[in-house]
Amino acid sequence: MRERVFGIETEYAVIYHPGRREKARPTKLEIYQLFESLLGRHLRSLPRAFSVLRSKPGRFLENGTSFHYEATSKDFEHGLVEMASPECRDPFTLLAYERAKDRLVETLCREVNQRLRVMGYSGEVRIGKNNVDSQGHTFGSHENYWVEDPLPLYRKLLLLPLWTGLWILSIPVFAWLLLVLLAILCAMFAVLLLPVTTALMAGLSSALARAHRRSALGLARAAAKMREWPRRLLASLQSRPGEATRRLAWIELPLRPLISLHSWMHNRFHFRRFHRHLTAFLVTRTLYAGAGSVVLDGGPPFRLAQRPPFLRSLARVFTSGENRPLYESRDVFFRPWSALGSRRRLHLLIGDANLCDWALVLRTGATALVLEAIETGAPVDWPVLVHPLRALRRLSADPELAARYRLKDGTEVSALEIQRRFLRAVRETLSPEPDPGSWRSQVIEMWEETLDLLERDPEALGDRIDWIAKRCLLRREIPDPADWETLGRRGPGILRGPASTADGDSRLRDLAFRALRADLRYHELGPRGGHRRLELRGEVRTLVERSQIDRALLRPPSDTRAHARGQAIREAHARSVSGGATWHRVRLGRFDWRWYRDPLDPGVSPPISGRTSSHSQR
């Protein structure tokens, strides 16, 4: 059996609910800074090591996770809290760390609210673990899998001249970025020197006071103005931190055509067999991995998943504006030497954030099993969809699971039939069957049971699958099927049009907002959350013990490089030295670098001194 590591990056929505008549409210960046300042009460950490291309605020924690602020340059003050799980070898371990992440963010949220009250705010912060907000913004629950993707020799020979030529073309762009960075550093250095300059000017004006009074007065005024510059600059950065990032956003413009060229090249050489064989599985696993969504756009009012409307392409190196791909291959850009290697990170943007344990384990475990089957290279007739993105959106809008999808072999099949073909292929390819007690065997049993129940009695999965659990809650909120039919037909007009005084329209508008509130409330972390209420009533099935979450909150997995990284972070605190961390290296003090190149290796490699790469690997 092939071993791999996998993990999930979760972007948590930060919602500030203002108090009555409260005008001033903290920005999400200020809220994140409060979160980060309170982290030290719970876990030791190191700041993210500096990187020219991957610079964003955040910290790496001793339990192997990372804690970051995720925002675009245009909306820097209105970002998200992002936590990424450590490298895990099986979906049940990953589940424990996912629940530990949720608990940590929920605990920090309570402490942040206490701090905000001390600061004079009357509102409160709430945290949502979902993928779309009331304004239509989307955020991710991205999966990472370490996969075998070797290139045959002839393809390496084809790639090498293209790869070399493209990186030669990239040199002027990176030279531009370095030049801009140097200019910014010089400007910062000049600001730091202003007090010395103003002191010299003040001394010179005193010396000239008698002989050249007018010149002395001019120098004194100039020195007084210059003394104000650092204070004004600091005040501006503190009050409007996003303004600097917005003004500097033009710097990355030369990168855009370059990234398009890299996407064109890498899509023709890397991850090709996964794009070809895995895509139909990812599309149809929405059957059990979707988190459900209320969408009042004239179609079915309830959808299986939240992400499908926001995915516009199959594969890209980076997301570009609203063009989000199913597969993102940024590592081959940040780590160009990996283009000629055999193992690399497969980064998926298709997933919804799952609160049901069963759904999360099945989503990641079944994906890992299909990857393992594909990597064997066995001659399997994998299902290939003709229009995968179209099929994804159609499946999401088909809660009755009745639609059929055209494959490239000319047949039309249901999503359930596609999943059964993948399950059958996994069993045949990975035969003999995995050990009965192994995670692979458990996931295969869960997979088969889920498909059987989806075919016979989907409501029986209301304790295990998020979209079904959410639909049960919504039906309690609005029990009449006729109301749902009317919402689907008239919802857009009711929400977008002016408020009507007609009794029927007023009632329908109230129902629409109740449905949308219940949808969002399902994902709220805390005692008010819809999923949490189901959990407290014993209506959802849990697969992880509280003691496992307690351990995951404090300690990294013992069988991946997260263990070594966590040890190094604890050592930095024990030695009271500064440092920095990425996924594959930790710096203790100034020159003590610890490198962890193999994600499967939990051992601590010997310290390596010297210069380091500016690109992180995961």
Q: Which residues contact 176 (CB under 8 A, 6 or more apart)?
A: 254
Long-range contacts of 517-522 (CB under 8 A, 24+ apart): 518/294, 518/473, 518/474, 518/477, 519/292, 519/293, 519/294, 519/470, 519/474, 520/128, 520/130, 520/133, 520/134, 522/130, 522/292, 522/355, 522/469, 522/470, 522/473
Listed residue (355, 359, 352, 354) closest to 464, CA to CA: 359
Integer angstrom CA distances of residue 153 from 158, 269, 329: 9, 12, 21
- Cis amide prior to 432 (ω within 30 degrees): yes
* Angle, alpha carbons 315-320-323 (nearest 5°): 60
pLDDT digits (tens, 9 = 90+) for 458-498: 999 999 999 999 999 999 999 999 999 998 888 777 777 66
Contact 70, 35 (CB under 8 A): no
Query: Which amino acid, one-letter code, is at 479?
Result: P
Query: How many percent of the chain have pLDDT more than 90?
Result: 59
Q: Which residues pair with 592 in a beta bridge?
A: 588
Residues 6+ apart with CB under 8 A from 168: none
- Buried b vs exposed e over 508-533: b needs ≥16 C-beta within 10 Å? bbebbeebbebbbbbbbbeeebbbbb
Please give the Cα distance from 589 to 577 (Å, whole number). 5
Cα 67 to chain centroid, rounded: 11
How far is residue 61's CA from residue 358's CA, in Å, rounded to a whole number? 27
Task: Identify which of 103-112, 216-225, 297-306 has the greatest average pLDDT.
Answer: 103-112
Residue 380 has pLDDT above 80, yes or no: yes
- Residue 613 pLDDT greater than 50, yes or no: no
Mean pLDDT of 129-143: 86
Give pLDDT, residue 49.
86
Flag whether pLDDT at 616 surpasses 60. Answer: no
Cα–Cα distance measured from residue 423 to residue 107, given in angstroms and rounded to the nearest whole number: 39
**Can you give the pLDDT at residue 124?**
94
Q: Is 47 helix (H, G, I), strand (E, B) or coil?
A: strand
Residue 608 has pLDDT above 50, yes or no: no
> Residue 607: pLDDT above 50?
no
Residue whose entry in the numeric block shows the structure tokens 């779309």:
132
In which region does residue 7 sit, left (phi positive, over 0), alpha (psi from -120 to 50) or beta (all else)?
A: beta
Question: Exposed, middle or buried by CB within 10 Å (0-12, 13-18, 19+), for 321?
Answer: exposed
State the pLDDT confidence band at 1, using cuts at 50, 70 and 90: low
Selection from 226-230, 232-236, 334-338, 422-426 with the highest mean pLDDT:
422-426
Q: Above 80 in pLDDT, residue 74?
A: no
User: What confidence tens digit (pLDDT) does each residue in 558-572 have?
Assistant: 999 999 999 999 999
Give the whole-angstrom CA distance, residue 244 versus residue 260: 26
Write down the pLDDT at residue 261. Answer: 87
For the cut 80, the answer to whether the pLDDT of residue 229 exceeds it is: no
The span from the CA of 213 to the CA of 209, in Å, is 5
Taking Cα atoms as reference points, which of 352, 371, 343, 339 lies closest to residue 275?
371
CA distances from 570 to 98, 107, 117, 599, 608 (A): 22, 22, 33, 19, 18
Tokens (6 digits) for 51 = 């990187």
Could you tell me the sign of the dihedral formed by the alpha carbons of 27, 32, 38, 40, in that order?
Answer: negative
Give whichever of 136-140, 217-221, 241-245, 562-566 has the largest mean pLDDT.
Answer: 562-566
**Mean pLDDT in residue range 53-69:** 87
Report, as an integer, the average pLDDT of 274-284.
96
Per-residue pLDDT band for 252 (boundaries 50, 70, 90) equals: confident
* Residue 448 near residue 423, CB atoms below 8 Å: yes
What is the mean predicted confidence (pLDDT) over 411-435?
A: 90
Highest mean pLDDT among 128-132, 175-179, 260-264, 545-549: 545-549
Q: Which residues contact 378 (CB under 8 A, 6 or more apart)?
A: 428, 429
Residues in the chain: 618
Q: For residue 82, list its beta bridge partners.
A: 11, 68
Range 294-297, long-range pairs (CB < 8 A, 24+ positions): 294/474, 294/515, 294/516, 294/518, 294/519, 296/487, 296/488, 296/491, 296/492, 296/494, 296/495, 296/512, 296/515, 296/516, 297/491, 297/492
Alpha-carbon distance 306 to 352, whole Å?
Answer: 6
Burial class (CB in 10 A: 0-12, 13-18, 19+), 35: buried
Residue 50, CB-side half-sphere exposure with 13 Å CA sphere: 6
Query: For 280-299, what is the mean pLDDT?
Result: 94
pLDDT at residue 231, rounded to an integer: 66
Residues 6+ apart with CB under 8 A from 18: 25, 122, 123
Q: What is the mean pLDDT of residues 582-595?
A: 90
Q: What is the mean pLDDT of the chain?
A: 86
Neighbour-count burial for 224-249, b at 16+ CB within 10 Å, e otherwise: eeebeeeeeeeeeeeeeebeeeeeee
Please state which of the ranges 63-77, 101-115, 293-307, 360-374 shows the lowest mean pLDDT.
63-77
Name the phi and psi angles at 592, rounded to 5: -90, 95
pLDDT the model gives residue 276: 94
Concatenating the DSSP letter of every residue in 567-592 gives HHHHHHHHHT--EEE-SSEEEETTTE
Question: What one-character DSSP code corresponds to residue 132?
Answer: B
Identify the band that residue 239 occupies on the pLDDT scale cut at 50, 70 and 90.
low
pLDDT of 611:
32
pLDDT of residue 341: 86
The average pLDDT across 321-350 equals: 87
Segment of 41-55, 231-245, 336-350, 457-471 carrying the highest mean pLDDT:
457-471
The pLDDT of residue 183: 84
483 phi and psi, to 5 degrees? -65, -40
DSSP output for 76-123 = TTS-EEEEEPPPBSSHHHHHHHHHHHHHHHHHHHHHHHHHHHHTT--S
Residue 58, pLDDT above cutoff 60: yes
